[in-house]
Structures are given as structure tokens and as C-alpha cells.
Chain A
Amino acid sequence: MFDDFSPPSLPQKPRNWVPFWLVIWLVLVGLAIFHLDISFKDLFLGFGDVFEYLARYRSPDFSKYLDYVKLMKETLAIALWGTTLAFVMSIILTPFAAKNISPHPIAYRLIRELLNFLLALPDLVLALIFVSALGLGPLPGVLALGFHTAGFLTKFFSESIERVEPGIYEAINATGANFLQLVLFAAWPSIIQEVIGYTLYIFDRNVRVATVLGLVGAGGIGFELNSRLRFFEYDQAAAIILIIIITIIAIDYLSAWLRSKIS
């Protein structure tokens, strides 16, 4: 009959792994919820309470707004100084952290590891450490923001320098330039727009973070917000939150406008 006729075997259909990973994901979610002891019943029953709770913020009390504006100014000052510190540090570190122009592989490795360490520690943790070393006040906040975001900026800048086309470096090298001249006349001028863009982005980020530095005693408006909430003064807390939101959104718009001017 047809026994000796064997159809050409089709290539095996590729296995669809999506359901497998989805099941693993869901099991992990279940385990985490179980382990953290989160009860969804409480969560959903609590939703009514949350709305009742949020209603307590409905009448912001701006009577002490002068104090809050002053604290907000301090917050902005911390962010500005922190960003400047980070900028200065990363200007010095970046030439060593870019693979294509770094003077020595060991310097490159060392700086990269330093960056990883700066990036891995959250800035509030750094702020806590600086507060316990320097005492309370905005200065430890400035230092924490500066060191943490120096890691960010150096990483961004060195990646931009690595992306610049090699012809530019070759041209400067061909004139017999030394390392410093290579950095000053080939590396920085090629990425100046990116440098400004990234610095503005980091400033935005630092303003946000500076609003919470006060929680660990490192200056800014965060301390006031925390104490208002501790004393259940929701009207005052609402005013502070509104001031923070307005400032952050205004800075966002300002830096977006500046960025669009530059590029």
C-alpha cells in the first residue's frame, strides 16, 4: 500500500516558551505575596479607607507658605550645588573612564569600579552616612547628591565620548597632541550638547531627590513634610506637597525648554 511512502518530515515547530515563563512569573508573584504576608482582602477593604484618608488632604493650608517657600529654595540650592559638585567631579573622572581615550587600562578599570560603587549606593544611604559624619544640615545632602550623581554623569559622559567617531581623535592625535589636548580639543567639544542635556536631566533628578533628603536630616523641605505628617497636620502637609509638585513640574518644563534650545 502506501507503507513505503514517507512524507518529507516537516521541521519541528519552535517551542513556545511564553506560557512556561508566565507560569513561573505568576508562581513567583504568589510566593512573594505570601512571604510578605500581604492580604488582598485588607487591601480592597482598605480602599474605602484610603479615599477617606486622602480626603483629609483636600484643604491645603497655605498660611505658613513663606516658611515652605524658603525651605523649597534651600532644596533647590542643595540640588544645584549637588549637581555642580557632580559635574566638576565627572569632568575630571570622565577622560579616564572612556575606553577609547583612557590613558591606561588599569586607570579605566579602577575608575569604572569606583563608578559602580557610587551608583550602587542609593543617595539617601549616602546622605545618612554623611549626616552621621558631618552633622545635620544641607551640606551632607549636597555631598551625597554630588557623589552619587557623579557616578551617573561620568557614566553618561564616557559613553558619549566612546560613541564619537574615531576620525576626530585620529585627527587630533596626528598633530602630536598629548592626552590633555586630546581631551580638551577632541573629546569635550564633540559631546558638548550631550553634556548639557545630561546635566540638566541630572539636575531635574536631584531636585526630586533633594525634596526627600530632609527625612534623614540632610536639609530641604522633606523634614518639614515628615514632621507635619507625624503630627497629623494634613492641611499643612497638603500645602507642602503642592509646593513640591508645582516646583518640580516648573523645573521639568524649564529644562525641557532649555534642552530644545540646545539641540
Chain B
Amino acid sequence: MRSLILKWHWPSSHGLPPFSLIALLLIVLIALDLTASLAEVDVIRIVKSTGRLLEFARQLIVAPEWTYLPDLLQKLLETLEIAFLSTTFSLVLSLPLGILASRNSSPHPIIFHISRNLLSFMRALPEVVWALVFVSAVGLGSLPGIMALTFVTTGIMAKFFAESIEVVDSKAIEGIKSTGSSWLQLITFAMLPQAFPDLIGTVLYILDHNVRTATIVGLVGAGGIGYELVSSIRLFNYSRLMMIVLAIYLAVTVLDRLSNRFRSRVI
């Protein structure tokens, strides 16, 4: 451990940055050079486009279209509802899955491995891809959005749950075990109470994540404010675009502040 830390120590005895750091930097630079053409990174194009970007920014300074406000609030409410419902559903699904996927509470190593792999499959793809799939399965609307968000965030939330169950103090588990408790009693009286503050933190994080994601699943027709956003950009309706972007910013910020306050009170 000590030697590894020393290797990263900087400034080093010979005055140069450590070798491992230089090597890493070189590898990254080579990779960047090789992929520059693929990503079409072109400094000249970026510099040339700053004019257009500024022009675009100038167009955003417009009087808001107040008559659009009721529609906007309606869509914003829908977005928040999608996030809230998905968080609730995935909370209900992740508690049992998290218990099965935690090394110390899983009833059997095989079940542990199966549920771990299931969870990493569930969270491998971004929500928007699943939203695409579910939209083409059940049609447009908020239902495919809720399904996609629930599916992916169950993978994330259950993994976090499992990790917080794994780090509980083993003394309490031994204590409950010594009373001859069953598996279920062990979980409800030794593990969950200790993991509870972590679980609350995870749920708040997932709610925050879901609000952000719910604003974009609308891009593929899965409900929420995202669809309004795309259509106002397509129609060059900048006064609406401005209002939508501000509404998303405000909603996310307010929720973030609220959940920070709640978190510091609970934990």
C-alpha cells in the first residue's frame, strides 16, 4: 500500500512527474489523436461556429410566451409524476432484489450471482434506449417512460441497497443470530435497521436521477417535458424553448436543494 502511494507521490525526488502518470497521459493522448477523426473534432470548425452559437444564444433572449405557461406547468407536473412513480415502483422492486444480491443476506451463493448479473444487465443500457423499446411495444405516452425508468433504476438502486447491506456491522447480525432467529428476522432486525440511513440516501439520489431522466425520455415519445423541448427546437420557437429550459433548470435545482435539506435532517 505504502509503495503504491509513493509511486504516485508528486513532486517526486527527481523533480519530474512520476513515470506512471506520464505513461497514462501518453496513452490517452495517442487514443485522442486516433479518435479525433471519428469524433470529427475540428478546432477550426468549433472556432468558426462560435458566431452561430452566439447568434443562437442571442435568439434565446426573447420575451417569454406567457400563454404557454399552463401547458408548460402541466407537462412539468407530468414529468415529476413520472419520476415519482418510477422511484416508487423501483423502490418496491429493489428491496427484495437488493437483499438477494447482497453477499451476507442472500439465501444462496447461486441466487447472489444470478441477481448480481441480472442487476448489471438492467443498468447496462441508458433509460432512453429502453424507452425506445417500450415505446415501440406499448405505444406513446407516459407508461413506456415509467417502465424504462423503473427498469433501469431498479438495477442501480438494488445494487446500492445490496452494497449498503453488505457493510453493516456483523456484531449485530451475530447478536440476532444467537437468539435463534430465522433468515427473515435476521434481515428485518439486524441488517435493514443498520442500512436504513443509506437506503434513504439512495432513494433520494434515485429520485433526483429520475427527475433528470424523465425530462429527456420525452425525446422518444415516452411522456414528460422532453417532447415539448424537441418540438420547440424543431419549430424554432425560441420563446417556448427558453421557458422549457428554465423550467427544467428550476425544477432540478429546487428538488436538489430540498433533497439536500431532507438528507441532512434524516442522516
Contacting residues of chain A (155-174) with chain B, CB-CB under 8 angstroms: none
Are B39 and A138 touching (Cβ within 8 A)?
A: yes
Q: Is the C-beta of B181 less than 8 angstroms from some C-beta in chain A?
A: no
Contacting residues of chain A (107-157) with chain B, CB-CB under 8 angstroms: 116-117, 119-122, 124-125, 128-129, 132-134, 137-139, 141-143
Are A225 and B137 touching (Cβ within 8 A)?
A: no
Contact with B along A227-260 (1 / 0, CB 8 A): 0010010000000010011001100100000000
CB nearest to A34 among chain B residues = B81
Are B223 and A36 touching (Cβ within 8 A)?
A: yes
Q: Is the C-beta of A24 less than 8 angstroms from some C-beta in chain B?
A: no
Are B39 and A189 touching (Cβ within 8 A)?
A: no
CB nearest to A209 among chain B residues = B126
Chain A residues, Cβ within 8 Å of B53: 133-134
CB-contact partner of B41 in A117, A142, A209, A226, under 8 A = A142
CB-contact partner of A33 in B85, B226, B252, under 8 A = B85
Are A245 and B125 touching (Cβ within 8 A)?
A: yes
Are B143 and A43 touching (Cβ within 8 A)?
A: yes
Q: Which residue numbers of A lie inside 8 Å of B, CB to CB?
A: 25, 28-29, 32-33, 35-36, 38, 42-43, 46, 49-50, 53-54, 73-74, 76-78, 80-81, 84, 116-117, 119-122, 124-125, 128-129, 132-134, 137-139, 141-143, 185, 188-189, 192-193, 196, 208-209, 211-212, 215-216, 219, 222, 225-226, 229, 232, 241, 244-245, 248-249, 252, 262
Return 27 A-B CB contacts under 8 Å, by A number.
A28-B84, A29-B85, A35-B78, A43-B143, A53-B136, A76-B35, A80-B32, A119-B252, A120-B252, A122-B248, A124-B226, A133-B53, A134-B45, A139-B39, A142-B39, A192-B8, A196-B24, A208-B125, A211-B125, A211-B126, A215-B128, A226-B132, A229-B133, A241-B125, A241-B129, A245-B125, A252-B120
